[in-house]
Structures are given as C-alpha cells and as structure tokens.
A and B are shown apart, each in its own frame.
Chain A
Amino acid sequence: MSATAPPRPLLAATDLTKHFTVGKTFWPGSGRTLRAVEDVSLEVFPGETLGLVGESGSGKSTLGRCLTRLYTLTAGRLLFDGRDISAAKERALKPVRLNMQMIFQDPSASLNPRRRVRDIVGDVLHVHKIRPAAAIEDRLAELMGLVGLGGDYLDRYPHEFSGGQRQRIGIARALAVEPKLIVADEPVSALDVSVQAQIVNLFNELQERLHLTYVFIAHDLAVVRQVSTRVAVMYLGSIVETGETDALYSRPAHPYTEALLSAIPQPGRRARGNRILLEGELPSPLDPPRGCKFSTRCRYAQARCRTDRPAPTAIAGGSRTVACHFPLVAGA
C-alpha cells in the first residue's frame, strides 16, 4: 500500500458516447445513427501526456472535441478538475475553457487569414479579460517568445508564415489563457519531418516550463511514442487498449495494437516478411460488428469474439487496460 493517495485526475470521462445522425430527412426517425464514440472511459492525470492513436475514422478527433466540450455529449459523464461538465451550457463552460484549450491539425485553416497575429492571439485575452488592457502588449510578446517566434512577427498575417510557424501561432493562442489542459488534434501531421521534430520538442519544453497536461491526438505512432506518458489506442469509436507508453509499445496487449505497430515502415529495416497484414477495411461506424469491433479483421478471433463485446479489463497489475477476450499480455 502506498502512503500517498492516488492523484485526482484532471479530466475523467466515464462511458462517453457521441452519436451523429446522418441522412436525416423531414420525416421523424428517418436518419441513421453513426456511433462515432461509444462508451469511452479514460482519465488524464495532471502533468502527463495522454496519447490518443487510431486510424482515420476511429473517432479520435470526435473524442477530442467531446473532451473539450466542443460537442455536446450523447451520453456519459465528463469531470474536469472534479467538476461535472457533461451537460454544462456555453455560459457555464466559458470559465472552464480558461483551463482547457485546443490546438488543431491544420494551422492555415484554424487561423483567420484576414487578421494579424496580434488580433488572433490577442482576442483571447480581450474576450476573457484576464489581463488589463495595458498589459496585453507585454503578454503578446511573452507568448511569442514562449513559442519561439519574435515579437516583431505580431503584425503579420498568417499567409506570411510557414506551416511550422503557423502551428507555433496556434500554440501561442492556446497558451494565452494559461490553461491547465491542452487537447492537441494532429498538431504535427501536416508538417515535414525536420519541422515536425522542432514542434514536438516545443510541446515537450512547454510542458516542462508551464506544467501543462496534454491529450495528444495523432495517427503517427512514432510521434505519439515520443511525446506521451500513457497511450490509448482507438478502433471504430472504442478504446481497445491503454497503458504506459513503453510497456504498450514493447508488448502490445490488443491484437489491433500489435497489427498497427507492425504496419509502420521503419527506416533502416527491410524485413517485410514478418509484418501482420490486416485484411479488408475498417467496418462502417453506421453498422459496427456485433461482438468485438475488431473481430472481422483479427487473426486470433474465435466464435465468442463475434457475439460478445469485450469490456476494458485491467491487466499487468492494473497499469494497463485492454478490451479483448484473448489479450496478448496476460495477468490481472
């Protein structure tokens, strides 16, 4: 028994669900339900980086937007800093957003092309009135310094910057309110590798200096490994596995994680023989498989997998969870 109580999670989601209705017409009940996120439970602890990985269509971006309450939830409970924000209205969310910010994938689409950097970043300070008007200028210069851009860039427009610099502006905007939590949705996937490395390093430096907590959403498993303390793997709207980064990468417990890791081409490695090739395609979230969602493509699937959906279960002494009837790592 450890003497210290386990730290309280900064963000805790229980059975979070988000459905969209597609193909809806005038007649009631005409739409079909797209299950983008289904019964997701996860916790994010202060100071950590939770990596959220999955392929396109796995629901990772939708989950990110649910966690920051940019979407209203269909069902489930969401606690931020102990406070229930699952059904909070916009007015009640405004103070919460001071502590919770988002960074988006495409910095050229998320920055208004007609406004200067000064206005893009400064608006946040005006809206939330967290600085007296006289101090805003100093704060802007400080923010630009934090993200590695000079203060003399403040009067430029977004098109005058490169992709990496634009992402730095997006980061500065998120930092303006001094948030505790930042949800970053594919923040480096639009960048070239040499620039990507600079931004990944910036994320790590800022975390150390400002004691930030991140949810880092990405499809690139190597980048996620570099930044994350813990990783959650998503497939078709569900989290199939969570665990400490090194443990999860060295010994994946879910067959999907195993296949995903083996699919990544590695520089300096030529062995294509022992790769696990997944057959077929991601099933449609409009009509997910009945049992385990991965059972249609899983090479270990048995009869039970096609009828019973496995619930997330603790393994490896409780430090990891896996939603699989036949996990590759045993032990409760």
Chain B
Amino acid sequence: MPAPQTPPATPPARAPLLDVANLSVSFASDRGRVKAIDDVSFTVQEGEILSIVGESGSGKTVTLLSLLGLNDPRTTFVDGSVLFRGQRILEMSDRQMRRIRGKDIGLISQDPMTALTPVYTIGWQIVEQIRAHERIAKAAARKRAIDLLAEVGFANPAEAVDRYPHQLSGGMRQRALIALALSCNPALLVADEPTTALDVTVQAQVLDLLLRLRDDFGSAIILITHDMGVVSEVADRVHVMYAGRIVERGTTDAVFADPQHPYTWGLLASIPPLHGARQARLRSIPGLPPTADGIPAGCGFAPRCRFAFDACAARPPDRRGDSHSAMCFLDPSDRERLRSEMLERERPA
C-alpha cells in the first residue's frame, strides 16, 4: 500500500497577475513636488474583482493611470515596482508598453463620450484596436467586432457596428467601450468609475455584464468607484483609499461586516439607508479630505478622526498581505467598541 502523500500545509501560492509594490506618485507643481500616492501596495489574482474605493482626490485614478504608464512623464514621478505576469512594466519603453496596453490590460474609462473618438464608427475603432495587436484580416476583425458587440448586449450588433458614438445612448456607449476593452481578450480589465455616468437601471445592466465577463472570459477586474453599494455587490476584495494611501484592505464581506478603519466607519455611516428606519440626521465625517499638498506626514485621516491621539502623528503601520487590515494605530481589540460608541454618540435623541 503506497504511503498516503501528505498534502502541503498551504497550497503553493500562485503568482499574482498584478503585483504593485510601494508605488508612490508625485507631481511637479508651482509649489514644488506634491505627493498624490504614498507607498501603495496591492495584488490582483487572476479572475478576481478587486475594488478600489475612495472619494474624489483620494488617488484612485492616479494609481490606475500610473499602472498603465499614462501619466505625463515630464511632470510625474513614479516610484516603486509593478509586476504584470512577472514583468516589470513601469520600466518598459513606450513601444513595449503599447503592446501590453489594450491587449493584455484593457481600460474602461469613466466617460464613454470622451473615450471614443466621435469621428469614426465604433466598429472602425474596435477593428483598429484588434489589428494593432494581431495579424488578422479586416473582414475577420470586423466579424469579431460584431460578435463582441453582441456579447456586451447590443440587440442588433450588425447594424450597431456602423454607428457613430453620438448615435448611441449613454448606456450603449459604455457597452461599446467595454467591447473595445475586451477586443483582445485582456487578462486584466481596469474600470475607472464605469457606471458613475449612468442611471441606476442602466448601471445594473452594466454591472451584470462585468460579472458575466469575469465568469465567461476569466478576466481579472480592477474596479475603481466611489459607490459602496457597487463595491458590495460585485467585488471579491476591497481596498479603501484615503489621501493617497490604502487605509483598509480585506475581502468584501469582511470589510462590510466588520470595518476596521475609522474612515471606513464614517464612510459607511454617511450613506443614507434605503431600508429600515430613517435617521433624523445623517452621520457625516466632519471637515474635508486634504488636498494633495496638505496631506499630513502621519495618518492622513487624523485631522478628521475623532479617535486621533498622539501616536497618529507618525505613519501608521500598513500590514500588507493580511487578509483584512487597516492602517491605523487603534488597538484592534478596541475597535469594535469604539465604532459602536461612535454610532451611539451620533445617534439623534
């Protein structure tokens, strides 16, 4: 009888699809260098949906543009390393990068009207992208464009392929943009606020589409949004950004069930509920998010945090790799009590 093989204690860790380590981005401004992203690290596994959530100015979009090398190199300073399938992509030449962008990494940007060129049909734009990356005949590329448009939910793709962007509604334009991003079957889709410009009923259609794409094509998705509801419904993991740093990271279920960072507490509490009792007052976070040139050296949230104490003047530890962690000095065992205290104190009499 052969001896039973002992399984390894932990399955061998798969190399992540995307590994961002210690990414910092600063811009040249009239007042000197301004740091927009401060030492951000995260990974994306194949086939997963990672959501980066934060308010405007928190650095979500800058993070994404830096990954794709889309910042203006004359005014932007990028530090750190980004590994995509083991290749360092920050150091790549424009020529090498162009081979990856659009083919292996697809981008869906927020405003489909400005992302599509108005002077060509959507079919033309999809065919152009396919033929930039693959040796394929025009007719075959056009056929693939029609298939893609059918895939993203156009009722009449053979006709839609010859439409100009202005002839489509907002939801249809966003679908055309998704078809464009998918045209070379990318391993990673980066979606920057893909549903913000859309109505809720159309947003529901697009979110369903994104989930289906992940299931059918196995694409990993980085979903950037400010809407906690969207995150909750589609993301596997969430990273909460504030003032250029990831302040909390974890699985979606863990972050919503047991948020750890005071900023996340405030963010979740300031969303008016759609069910249950209405509150006389919404709980809001006092003050304003800092601008890039006013981010404190220590914890970025400390000036607005009711639990801030002396230690917060230093940079809080960032426990990378933990399945759920927060960049905060508060004692983890105290947090639940402090959070319920905060919600209690704010409750109107």
Contact = CB atoms under 8 A, between A and B. Distances in A.
B199 interface: yes
B200 A219 contact: yes
Given A162-B288, A192-B289, A264 B200 contact: yes
B268 interface: yes
Contacts of B172: 281
Given A225-B272, A225-B278, A265-B232, A193 B267 contact: yes
B273 interface: yes
A221 interface: yes
Contact of A194 (B205, B256, B270, B281): B270
B29 interface: no
B318 to A, nearest CB: 22
A219 B199 contact: yes
A268 B272 contact: no
29 contacts: A56-B170, A193-B271, A194-B55, A195-B288, A196-B270, A197-B270, A197-B272, A197-B283, A200-B282, A201-B282, A204-B280, A204-B281, A219-B199, A221-B200, A249-B274, A259-B201, A260-B201, A264-B274, A265-B203, A265-B229, A265-B232, A267-B271, A268-B257, A269-B232, A270-B253, A278-B204, A280-B155, A281-B202, A282-B199
Interface string A214-245: 00000101110110000000000000000001
A193 B226 contact: yes
Nearest to A194: B285
A331 B50 CA distance: 47
Given A162-B288, A194-B285, A55 B232 contact: no
B130 to A, nearest CB: 27
A282 B198 CA distance: 12
Contacts of A282: 169, 199
Interface in B220-246: 226-234
Contact of B272 (A194, A226, A272): A226
Greatest chain A CB density within 10 A among B208, B231, B271 is at B271
B150 interface: no
Interface in A155-169: 162, 164
Contact of B208 (A200, A245, A264, A272): A272
A266 B56 contact: no
Given A267-B229, A281-B169, A261 B284 contact: no
A178 to B, nearest CB: 24
Contact of B227 (A198, A246, A259, A265): A265
B199 A55 contact: yes
A219 B204 CA distance: 15
Interface of A: 55-56, 162, 164, 192-198, 200-201, 204, 219, 221-223, 225-226, 245-246, 249, 259-261, 263-270, 272, 275, 277-278, 280-282
Interface in B180-207: 199-205, 207
A143 B200 CA distance: 36
A264 B203 CA distance: 9
A208 to B, nearest CB: 10
A269 B253 CA distance: 9
A204 to B, nearest CB: 7
Given A56-B199, A162-B288, A281-B171, A266 B232 contact: yes
A48 to B, nearest CB: 15
B266 interface: yes
Interface in B9-68: 55-56
B233 A269 contact: yes
